[in-house]
Structure 1
Amino acid sequence: MSSNNDESVDSSASPVSNTVIEQSQSLEDRTLLLLARLMEDGQEDEDTCKDLDTLTRLLHDDSSEDNKPSESHRPLTQLIDADSVETILGYLDMRQSEVVRGHATMTTSAYLKASDKQGVDYLSDFFRSRVEKGTYDDFLVAFSVAASIFPVVPDVMATLFLSEGFVVSLGSLMRRKWKSKKVEQAALEMLNAACMNTPCREAIQKYCIEWLEEIVNNVPESHVGVSSPERHSVVEDGSIQQRIHSENVRNLAAVVLAKIQAVPSAPNAGSEERVQPATTSIEDLSDMFKKMMSTNTSQQSSIEGLAYASLQPNVKDRLASDMPFLKKLIKALGDAPAKSPLTYGALSILVNLTTYLPALSEEQQRLTQLKAYANASKSPLKPDPLNDDEHVAKRCESVFEAGTIPILVTHSQHGSTASLTLVVSIVFSLAKASKIRGHMAQQGAVKLLLHAYSIFPSEHLPARRTTAHALARILISTNPTLVFGGSTPLPLTSAIRPLLFLLADDPAVEHRDLLPVFESLLALTNLASTDDTARNPIVRLAFPQIEELLLSNNKMVTRATVELICNLMQAPTCVSKFADGSKPASHRMHILLALADAEDTETRRAAGGALASLTEWDTAVNAILERDRGLGILLSLCKEDSEELRHRGVVCILNILTAPGKVGEWGVTKVKENGGVEALKECLKKSRSQEVLEITVDALKKLLEESKTGTEVALKT
């Protein structure tokens, strides 16, 4: 293991050969040889990483039922004793390269998973013994290990972190004894990782806040400003004066302070006085992070800090109103490597700036109030006004104007599932504003969403629903012919399945949210306005769901469903669902006629439009005439005050009167018997549209001609 210590290395020791481990050796021998090689000094980082990866794979396979080696052997974890564990953990030392530390973290994770309690005991003994020794090297390694392993085994590390006397004395120990920038940095990295655990975060707030604020705030303008008695030196990493801290140390301390304040813990009874509040506000910290954004060496810390600080409503508004900052953030995101912490942090900031509060039903609001009372609150906490829809909408507009979409499109192609989930969340929030949906589509948002939907695992239901919902919002307000076809390789049919996915119930929620259903129906209606290429798959894949939604208790959902059917009725496949002469078709016709008589004007208009298309088919006319009230409902449309409704009504009547053969003859008779002449005359009086007048006149002529012909026939007889 490579080390930065000044301890001499015995040159007479011959390192184990770096040749490839022979596959002919037994599994136990290969494991022991790997451990021996890792214990040797002088290896290149590349070779060390290869050995660590091999050990990780062996441990993983040995603990997996699927990949378990066939040869008989004792568990490989039994070959790894306390010294071997110490060797592996030594590669987590912050003085090692980042790449080595990353590979060592994976190896440690595989070992702890495979070894169960034995591994936890070795890890605990290692950490405690190093802390008890209390030398420079011991603290440095112990803190480095804790920082790396906290996300791997948070419960184990939290127990060690909260052991008696450790956190209590940490701040004072760092201030009094260790004026070393590396030890201080290692300690802060450990605190940074420990903030993920609520009890640990509370302990840090209780015992370390004074030390953290001293690091952030008490920085003399120059070394001369520090009196000579306050100057100390440490040989391992150079001199450091009291209250003069390295840039990395200050940045880390600021990040920890931001985490403490951004994710406040619920106070326990009687604990309020014991927890010292921070004097450095979250706004001061966010301003500090913004200044750090322009420095490459500080960019990671600044973005991590802002990812937490931007959870606070006032910080969100300050950041979103600062366009130069937003453009710096977008540029940093564009320059960041895929799947990097920098990418995830920048995306987290954008998510915080753009996320709307969830809409709660009346029942959910009552449950929230009851929970607040149950928690002994005097009254339910009111949402911060800076988180209301109006403020979030303004922030979304600023984020969009900063040029976010093209960068998100680029990152969506190579990002991890976790980062892609954040990307989709941002696009979903931005798509709530109808006025920018067309621009989003032009900048590649539809392509992004279709790609995301295709690669999210099928079990990743929340992400898939958010993706589909974002797609629906954009396609509601966008001309499909401008998004699909032409020079665009995206087929229009690629959007249908994601939209249909929203029509099904969400198993993850107790109370069904009908907004995604409603917006999906609107988007499908838009697609169905194109041609049968879109209509036929919708009818084939989702007609049972559409039919069920016709009977929804929600007026808006019913209306949107009828509007979709109105556009689908241009396709013969949809017509046959209502006019093939079967009992189900007759039942559907009954429902459609009833909706043409609904209270909601928009629903009547859509149903009338569907019937206007449907009555072009004689089988549909026959189905209407068979129903007692069918014709009466259509004649009622002719007498409506709305010109659009009258238009649909007279088209239906003219189609019935001109139907071929006996169906048409029957239609004429029934229209007369149901007061058709009077209804059409009333339509003429109310109408101003030339088209409506012409259709009405044609229908009246047809009726009157049939009446005249009938009279002549009777006289001749």
Structure 2
Amino acid sequence: MSNQEEITSQIKSLKLDSEDDTINKLFKEALTTELNESDQKIIKDSLHRSLSKEKSGVLLNLLQNNAQQFIILLKNVNDSGTILADITHKHSIAEIEIQKLLSAIRSEVSQNKNVDYYLGLYSNIISNFKFSNCQHLSLLLSLIGRTKKTDNLILVIIIQNLQLNKIETESIIQEYFELQIEEKSFATDQFINFISTLSLCFPICPELCAKIYMDDRTKEITLSKLNTSNDLLILKCFSNSCLVENCRTYTVNNYFQFLLDCFKSTNVHKRILASLVLVKLWSFIEVEKKTKLKVTNLAEDLILYIDDKNEIEYIEYSIEGLIYLSLFWEVREMMRMDISFIENLLKILQNSSTENNVNTSIQYGVLSIIANLTKLKEPEQNQRNKLKNVTSPQTGSQSQEESQENIKLFNKELLEDDKIISVLTKLKTYQNSSTNNLNEVINIVYNISFDQLKSIRIELVKQGALKIVINYLVKYSEIERIDNRVIANPLKDDLRPEVRLKAIRSLARMLICIKPQLTFEHFDIKSAIPFLIELLGSSANDQISSYSDELSPLDKYESLLALTNTASINDSSLKIFIIYEILPYVDSLILQSLQIQISTYELLNNLISEPILLSKFFNVATPQNKQRLEITLKLLNSDEIKLQVVIAGFLVNATNFDMISDVIVNSKEIFDDLFGTIQNIITNQVNDEKLITPISYILLNLSYTLANKSRLSVLKSNAFINGCESIIKNGSEENKEVISNILELCNNNT
């Protein structure tokens, strides 16, 4: 009996571990014939059941003795490789067995049998077993240019081979190209394969492809094929070649007129691709050549093509071109003025983000364009940013001709009319598909939150922006507990620290404007606090973040406002949490600019009811605490009325506690300092009602404590009495009543 007859005999005798004759009959049919969908399911279920019972001898035998028949079985039951995975879960499969499978698949592909299925299976095997055979690549490369699906499958296999064996893979690809360009004549099919393969490989082997692209023979072949049915393939190759700088110069020098001709073509697809290539080459095109076209001209066809009724492939090219063009202010203004374009753009984003259809390149493109359209010019808040703007080209993005008010109006309409954040919150798929896509979502939220209008920031929260931002920050942070503090450190491999900073800034802006007790019904408000603290910079105990030198006084101010608003919630555990987070920064903050000082004490006012904070100012047995209180008392004597008012409020809230009044009264140094300042205020600032009111209540609290200690005589200086009389004469009814009570208390205790 011959080997083939023996194999055939073995196949006929194969049966599953089943008493069901129907199943065994279907199994034998599946070894030679493709089954219908219903029968495929029956056999796959039976195979998995057999494997789960560790009775996989039939399939293992087939795999080891007839790899060709095994892959035909997988194809006939339409299995992508799960059956093979189940077998290997039960048995150790040697590399030689895997190589047999890959060779069997190559054999089927070489006969043009079910190419796409077998390429997918081939890729899955490489992915699961990390074995490959680079020698198969020559055959696979020869298949490029037939269909987009086939090209994409081969691209994945090439990438897998590069990961496993980069040197040999690149060597085979280079040899394939070199053999092609040595040919004296190029038939149409051969050229389609050559230019398509070059285009496909550019993103993954740019240096190798650049040498082939700029070879004189390639130029000769390409020029001979211009203005033919191959123009679209050539334009696609030009586009991909722009990854390499030298190739861009080469394309401008050798093919510029062809690009112009295509740009003026009656074929819209040629115009789309020509516009894409020209915008990629824009900075490499000489000034005199640019006189023939403007960036707004390049944008026209791309903008018009953004319509879900058009071909998705060329919509992708249009979006790619508009990403580049949206760096030019003239084009941004075109886009903002085109209402139908914005509507179509959002519709395409939604269509490309469903559970059954996720197109990450379209997602990223649309999100990038919207991020560029919504971007406002930021104030140069520190010297480093000024230097950065000088040394980095801005590609027209900082033009003074672009109206910032128009951008704000556009952002407002995008938020309120197009419900952009609601659209983004519903697109669940972008969050898992690409970090870059999520970064662009953060950019959009940040840009819109830049508007100071409270209504804008509240609308952001209503549409879900707060949840987007907090989820982003939690996802890309390592949460660490140190003593009583929670620290949110960026992930060590975080490549975009500026996006994290934008997320935190957006968080602060939104938390300034909302009622936090209503907004945080669905997750713990404490999760936001460590991120707000990051905007305060680095304390002595913290590691320096990668963007510490990017922080500005505005960041600290907005962080403090957000913390103050959050601390307004009547929740002791939340207040204590904030206190521990803020304490390492307090000593620095109360010595900074006026606005920071005011904001710091406003926050402390919302926290002063907690003993832990009181102790940090009024437990004067500790030198650091005493110094903190002394600074506070000095600031009460400031020339700035707003600062005086907020500190007076802080001291009122503190002295409402009897033990705090005791601390002040019992320390002659502290009491004399405070009382001297109060006398000065009621003598010289009697008309400042906002200040006199809290000062009056501080005096009342201290008076009760002094009365209990029979020490009210310390209040009876002429300056104090004159000041009190001045308030009674000129002050508000409330202040008159408080001061009268103090004087009456003094008189009764004479």
- What is the TM-score with the length of structure 1 in the denominator? 0.79
AA of the residue aligned to 2:575: R
AA of the residue aligned to 1:152: I
Query: Match for residue 471 of structure 1?
Result: 507
**Pairs within 5 Å for 1:575-594:** 575-583=614-622, 584-594=624-634
What is the total number of aligned residue pairs between the two structures?
A: 621
Instruction: Measure how far apart 1:412 and its partner are.
Output: 5.5
Checking the alignment, whether the CA contact within 8 Å between 2:327 and 2:396 is kept in structure 1 is: no
Instruction: Measure how far apart 1:423 and its partner are.
Output: 0.2
Instruction: Measure how far apart 1:614 and its partner are.
Output: 0.9
Indicate how the Cα distance of structure 1 residues 281 and 660 shifts in structure 2: closer, same or farther if over 3 A, else same: same
Match of 2:295 among 269, 282, 287: 282
1:393 has 2:443 as partner = no
**SS class of match (1:208):** helix
Aligned partners of 1:594, 1:164: CA distance in 2, in Å?
Answer: 80
Checking the alignment, whether the CA contact within 8 Å between 1:605 and 1:648 is kept in structure 2 is: yes
**SS class of match (2:502):** helix
Aligned partners of 2:216, 2:547: CA distance in 1, in Å?
Answer: 41
Query: Match for residue 80 of structure 2?
Result: none
Query: Match for residue 51 of structure 2?
Result: none
AA of the residue aligned to 2:556: V
AA of the residue aligned to 1:52: S
Instruction: Measure how far apart 1:437 and its partner are.
Output: 0.7
Query: Match for residue 139 of structure 1?
Result: 191
AA of the residue aligned to 2:202: F
Query: Match for residue 678 of structure 1?
Result: 722
**SS class of match (1:187):** helix
Instruction: Measure how far apart 1:388 and its partner are.
Output: 6.1
**Pairs within 5 Å for 1:311-390:** 311-337=327-353, 338=358, 340-361=360-381, 363-364=383-384, 367=387, 383-387=398-402, 389-390=404-405
Aligned partners of 1:669, 1:147: CA distance in 2, in Å?
Answer: 94
Query: Match for residue 449 of structure 2?
Result: 431
AA of the residue aligned to 2:533: L
1:525 has 2:577 as partner = no
Aligned partners of 1:163, 1:633: CA distance in 2, in Å?
Answer: 84
**Pairs within 5 Å for 1:24-423:** 24-41=92-109, 42-43=113-114, 45-59=116-130, 79-81=133-135, 84-90=136-142, 93-98=144-149, 100-133=150-183, 134-164=186-216, 166=218, 169=220, 172-175=223-226, 179-180=228-229, 183-219=230-266, 245=267, 247-261=268-282, 264-265=283-284, 272=286, 276-277=289-290, 279-294=292-307, 295-297=309-311, 298-337=314-353, 338=358, 340-361=360-381, 363-364=383-384, 367=387, 383-387=398-402, 389-400=404-415, 401-411=417-427, 414-415=430-431, 416-423=434-441
Instruction: Measure how far apart 1:390 and its partner are.
Output: 3.7
Checking the alignment, whether the CA contact within 8 Å between 1:502 and 1:520 is kept in structure 2 is: yes
User: Identity percentage over the alignment?
Assistant: 21
Instruction: Measure how far apart 1:473 and its partner are.
Output: 0.7
Instruction: Measure how far apart 1:665 and its partner are.
Output: 4.2
Indicate how the Cα distance of structure 1 residues 163 and 502 shifts in structure 2: closer, same or farther if over 3 A, else same: farther
Indicate how the Cα distance of structure 1 residues 135 and 456 shifts in structure 2: closer, same or farther if over 3 A, else same: farther
Render the CA deviation track for 1:391-430: whole Å, top value 9, x for unaligned.
4433423432432111122236642221111001100010
Query: Match for residue 612 of structure 2?
Result: 573
Aligned partners of 1:477, 1:678: CA distance in 2, in Å?
Answer: 44
Instruction: Measure how far apart 1:329 and its partner are.
Output: 1.7
Checking the alignment, whether the CA contact within 8 Å between 1:333 and 1:407 is kept in structure 2 is: no
**SS class of match (1:658):** helix
Instruction: Measure how far apart 1:149 and its partner are.
Output: 3.1
Aligned partners of 2:252, 2:640: CA distance in 1, in Å?
Answer: 58
Checking the alignment, whether the CA contact within 8 Å between 1:206 and 1:276 is kept in structure 2 is: no
RMSD: 3.1
628-637 or 605-614, larger mean C-alpha shift:
628-637
**SS class of match (1:326):** helix
**SS class of match (1:541):** helix
Query: Match for residue 6 of structure 1?
Result: none
**SS class of match (2:437):** helix
AA of the residue aligned to 1:528: A
Checking the alignment, whether the CA contact within 8 Å between 2:360 and 2:430 is kept in structure 1 is: no
Checking the alignment, whether the CA contact within 8 Å between 2:265 and 2:271 is kept in structure 1 is: no
Aligned partners of 1:392, 1:417: CA distance in 2, in Å?
Answer: 26
Instruction: Measure how far apart 1:32 and its partner are.
Output: 4.6
Indicate how the Cα distance of structure 1 residues 635 and 39 shifts in structure 2: closer, same or farther if over 3 A, else same: farther
Which has more helix, going by share of residues?
2
Indicate how the Cα distance of structure 1 residues 660 and 110 shifts in structure 2: closer, same or farther if over 3 A, else same: farther
Indicate how the Cα distance of structure 1 residues 681 and 290 shifts in structure 2: closer, same or farther if over 3 A, else same: same
Checking the alignment, whether the CA contact within 8 Å between 1:16 and 1:40 is kept in structure 2 is: no
Instruction: Measure how far apart 1:655 and its partner are.
Output: 1.3
Aligned partners of 1:199, 1:509: CA distance in 2, in Å?
Answer: 37
Instruction: Measure how far apart 1:347 and its partner are.
Output: 0.3
Aligned partners of 1:661, 1:257: CA distance in 2, in Å?
Answer: 86
- What is the TM-score with the length of structure 2 in the denominator? 0.76
Instruction: Measure how far apart 1:130 and its partner are.
Output: 2.9
Match of 2:693 among 647, 651, 663: 647
Checking the alignment, whether the CA contact within 8 Å between 1:356 and 1:388 is kept in structure 2 is: no
Instruction: Measure how far apart 1:339 and its partner are.
Output: 5.3
AA of the residue aligned to 1:326: I
Indicate how the Cα distance of structure 1 residues 125 and 348 shifts in structure 2: closer, same or farther if over 3 A, else same: same
Indicate how the Cα distance of structure 1 residues 218 and 366 shifts in structure 2: closer, same or farther if over 3 A, else same: closer
Render the CA deviation track for 1:515-560: whole Å, top value 9, x for unaligned.
32221111111111222343221012231123332223x3333332
Checking the alignment, whether the CA contact within 8 Å between 2:728 and 2:736 is kept in structure 1 is: yes
Render the CA deviation track for 1:341-390: whole Å, top value 9, x for unaligned.
11111101101111233433463476469759xx9xxxx99941145644
Match of 1:495 among 495, 508, 528: 528
Checking the alignment, whether the CA contact within 8 Å between 1:171 and 1:208 is kept in structure 2 is: no
Instruction: Measure how far apart 1:572 and its partner are.
Output: 3.0
Indicate how the Cα distance of structure 1 residues 404 and 483 shifts in structure 2: closer, same or farther if over 3 A, else same: same
Aligned partners of 1:642, 1:413: CA distance in 2, in Å?
Answer: 58
- Structure 1 unpaired stretches of 5+: 1-13, 60-75, 220-244, 711-717
Aligned partners of 2:600, 2:147: CA distance in 1, in Å?
Answer: 62
AA of the residue aligned to 2:168: Q
Instruction: Measure how far apart 1:16 and its partner are.
Output: 5.9
Aligned partners of 1:196, 1:678: CA distance in 2, in Å?
Answer: 81
AA of the residue aligned to 2:525: L
Aligned partners of 2:702, 2:617: CA distance in 1, in Å?
Answer: 16
